[in-house]
Structure 1
Amino acid sequence: MSRVCELTGKGRLVGNNVSHANNRTKRVFLPNLQKVSLISDALGRAETFKVSTHGLRCVEHNGGLDNWLLKTKNEKLSDKAQKVKRKIKKAREQAEAAA
């Protein structure tokens, strides 16, 4: 899963370079991916993901990694992110049962 955001599913786009003479050649637009450690409040540890800068802003806007993963559909998430999402759900259920 290279060059794909693990949290938003944002991938590469294809387009054209257009010269002054209107010659068109194919090119690729890649997302701005960063390797980031995001802290999970429910798990109490950091998880590393390859995230686009747009995805990182979305995570911060929604209140952190836990909230973002629980609100996002599984189709958008990578396999690693889906595993973390399941662990977060399980940890939250255990915390609610204990309280």
Structure 2
Amino acid sequence: MSRRCELTGKGPMSGNNVSHANNKSRRRFLPNLNEVTLMSETLGRSFQLKISAAALRSVDHRGGLDAFLAKAKDDTLSPGALKIKKDIAKAQASA
């Protein structure tokens, strides 16, 4: 189970826990991932994706999953999201 956003590619970061005595030990900052179901208007079906809370706000801001994927770069998308993007583009081209 990968801790990576399927739409933005956001993953774990590393840093330090700093104590009151200024002792430092390594820690991980995990992204705020949520399992959500997003609807595609073009394909007329829903997809279950594991995305960050920030990506969910971006999807709403851009006007839905179809609009978000149209502007998204292919290198940040997961293989599943890339397949959805290609299916949407194919459906829009034939319509």
Report how many aligned residue pairs link the two structures. Answer: 95
Give the whole-Å Cα distance in 2 for the aligned partners of 1:67 and 1:35: 20
1:44 — aligned with what?
A: 44
Give the whole-Å Cα distance in 2 for the aligned partners of 1:77 and 1:70: 11
User: What is the one-letter code of the residue matched to 1:23?
Assistant: N
1:62 — aligned with what?
A: 62
Listed as ranges, the gaps of 5+ residues in structure 1 are none
Counterpart secondary structure, 2:42: coil
User: What is the one-letter code of the residue matched to 2:75?
Assistant: E
Query: Share of identical aligned residues, percent?
Result: 56
Query: What pairs up with 1:10-25 in 2 under 5 angstroms?
Result: 10-25=10-25
User: What is the one-letter code of the residue matched to 1:62?
Assistant: R
Give the whole-Å Cα distance in 2 for the aligned partners of 1:56 and 1:5: 10
Q: CA deviation at 1:45?
A: 0.4
Q: What's the TM-score once normalised by structure 2's chain length?
A: 0.98
Deviation track 1:5-32 (CA, whole Å, cap 9, x = no partner) reads: 0001111010000001100000000001
Could you list the runs of 4 or more consecutive aligned residues of structure 1 that deviate by over 3 angstroms after TM superposition? none
1:78 — aligned with what?
A: 78
Q: What's the TM-score once normalised by structure 1's chain length?
A: 0.94
CA RMSD in angstroms comes to 0.7
